[in-house]
Structure 1
Amino acid sequence: MQTEATVGDRALSSAHGGGGLKYSARNQQQAQIGTVTNLLAGGVAGAVSKTCTAPLARLTILFQVQGMHADAVALRNASIWREASRIACEEGFRAFWRGNLVTIAHRLPYSSISFYAYERYKNLLQLVPGFDRHKDYVSADVGVRLVGGGLAGITAASITYPLDLVRTRLAAQTKKIYYRGISHALYSISRDEGIRGLYKGLGPTLLGVGPSIAISFSVYETLRSFWQFERPHDSAVLVSLTCGSLSGIAASTGSDP
């Protein structure tokens, strides 16, 4: 069975002689431009979102490591407002964005790789017999999104993990400063803990990132498709923001431990 693209290519080839080759080359060029656009859009979107939520991200990290540095009384009295007030008074307002530069340095490649890998994995999975879309379109589509998202998250996290480790250690610093910046942290960890030290905690991270990205992508695309089908005239920005927020909540809730 011929696809429309194949018929179109042959029609152009017949009409213009060698024009079919030019048409194919133009298609390849447009695909490459689309790939670069997706990579840049994913990276910039990740960097902007992380910068906007950097204060909450730092508070999250401090609460996660609080049991290592505080007594039972301090833990019982812990609250977001109390910790935020402590940071503002003791470290200054800019401290809410401590480690954000490395967050951006990490998020640009991480988001780009995850978006790109997700599309590639989806295309590959649709060729697998177990994901035959003609048998059960809905379940196959959700399955492709879940597995593709999980694989994309694992791929991106594995490649960019040293920057993620540095980001966490910089954000976890309070009064005592161990690392003065990204390069100093990378050098110090490599010197004191070896190259393998840059991948400390990778296993638990992949266990969390895989399900997190899988849930995020699958919930986002499923909700967006359903919304656009039911209410096709709603604002695309509203749809993206709402579905993105709900998918983020679902992903964080499912993978937080």
Structure 2
Amino acid sequence: MSSNGATRRKQDKQSLHYIVRSGIAGGVAGSIAKTVVAPLDRVKILFQASNPDYSKYAGSWTGAFRAGAQIYRDTGIMGLLRGHSATLYRIFPYAAIKFMAYDQIEHILMPTRDQQTNLRRFTAGALAGMTSVFFTYPLDVIRVRMAFNTDTNHRPSFLYAISKIYHESATSAPASASTSTSTTASPASTLFSRFPILKFYRGFTVTIAGMIPYAGTSFLIWGFLRSRFLPPPPPSSKAKEKSHTVADLTIGALSGAISQTASYPFEVIRRRMQVGGLTHPDRWLGWRETVGTIWRVSGWRGFYVGLGVGYLKIVPMTAVSFTAWQWMKRVLEV
């Protein structure tokens, strides 16, 4: 009887009906969480990418609020939400794929509670995060470009940002730069000139590298703390899992804080590479040059610029995301 029940549960979790509902639950949860922190996300991107108009505010907890106040004075509430449309285009499929993938990978690696280990939780989270990034990364590049723009006379649209990225040059160096840099196109620049679609994957390798500690640690802490403090009812019980909103928010916040600390340097490097087409249109920015520039200008602290804003953003976002995910799973009976 128990064997038949286990087989039925396995078939249910791998059915298209379950996968679709799992994806919807994750997508809605991610969209809610991202909307809550959209203004802080705009400020954080400006800090990370060293936007010259706002770099003076970086380095302090109050700087984020002062930067947000300036954005509001200059462009109103829509300035705080610039790039958010692209965020929503990205975050729904991103969160849907991430949570759906985690459900499936968790079921494969940890089909029973006895098989749950911290290593498997970390592995499931890392694989789920990498899967979602692979399919949605171009949307993140577009979002960053829209948020990086601070021209009050021209608000870039989603389609304009796409066109700008697609047509920007990665090989033609200005004449003034030819005396100090080689005019010979690097293999990477030549590749991206021949295949412009790859320009939407600026910083992709560092994103994948950063996603491993971020998503892996996030799901690890989430799963570990829930197993310790919020154990689900036994499989033989017909009782439904109770809602623990406050506990979910607390555990989600801790997961976000720890995972953000572990992966933040990768995020700073990624942002610099993503806006490379604007700051260095004459060449392609790679890992080594980006890391070297950050180190020379700011030292190790440069890899944590905007971390205070990151905490202000990622802690409530992760808390809301995980909590809304659990709520949506109960609503959709996943």
Question: Fold-level match, TM-score > 0.5?
Answer: yes
Closer, same or farther: CA 186–228 of 1 in aligned 2, 3 Å? same
Moved over 4 A (4+): 27-30, 70-78, 176-179
- Taking the aligned partners of 1:63 and 1:225, their CA distance within structure 2 comes to 37
Shift of 1:228: 1.4
Q: Which has the bigger relative contact order, CA under 8 A and spacing at least 6?
A: 2
The answer on 1:180 being equivalent to 2:175 is no
Aligned equivalent of 1:84: 68
2:13–2:104: 8 Å Cα contact kept in structure 1? no
Which structure carries more helix by proportion?
1
1:1-257 to 2 correspondences below 5 Å: 4-6=2-4, 28=12, 31-66=15-50, 69=52, 79-126=63-110, 141-175=117-151, 180-193=156-169, 194-229=196-231, 236-257=244-265
- Structure 2 runs not aligned, ≥5 long: 170-195, 233-240, 266-334
Report sequence identity in percent: 31
Shift of 1:5: 3.6
2:75–2:152: 8 Å Cα contact kept in structure 1? no
Shift of 1:178: 7.2
Letter in 2 for 1:69: P
1:58–1:96: 8 Å Cα contact kept in structure 2? yes
Superposed CA offset, 1:141-170 (max 9, x none): 211110111111111111100000001111
Shift of 1:195: 1.2
How well do the aligned residues superpose, as a CA RMSD in angstroms?
Answer: 3.2
SS at match of 1:163: helix
Shift of 1:235: 5.0
Superposed CA offset, 1:205-232 (max 9, x none): 11112210111111111111211149xx
2:58–2:64: 8 Å Cα contact kept in structure 1? no
TM-score of the pair, normalised by structure 1: 0.77
Closer, same or farther: CA 76–117 of 1 in aligned 2, 3 Å? closer
TM-score of the pair, normalised by structure 2: 0.61
Aligned length: 229
- Structure 1 runs not aligned, ≥5 long: 10-23
Shift of 1:56: 0.8
Q: Which has the larger radius of gyration?
A: 1
- Taking the aligned partners of 2:166 and 2:103, their CA distance within structure 1 comes to 34
Shift of 1:82: 2.1
SS at match of 1:69: coil
Closer, same or farther: CA 177–34 of 1 in aligned 2, 3 Å? farther
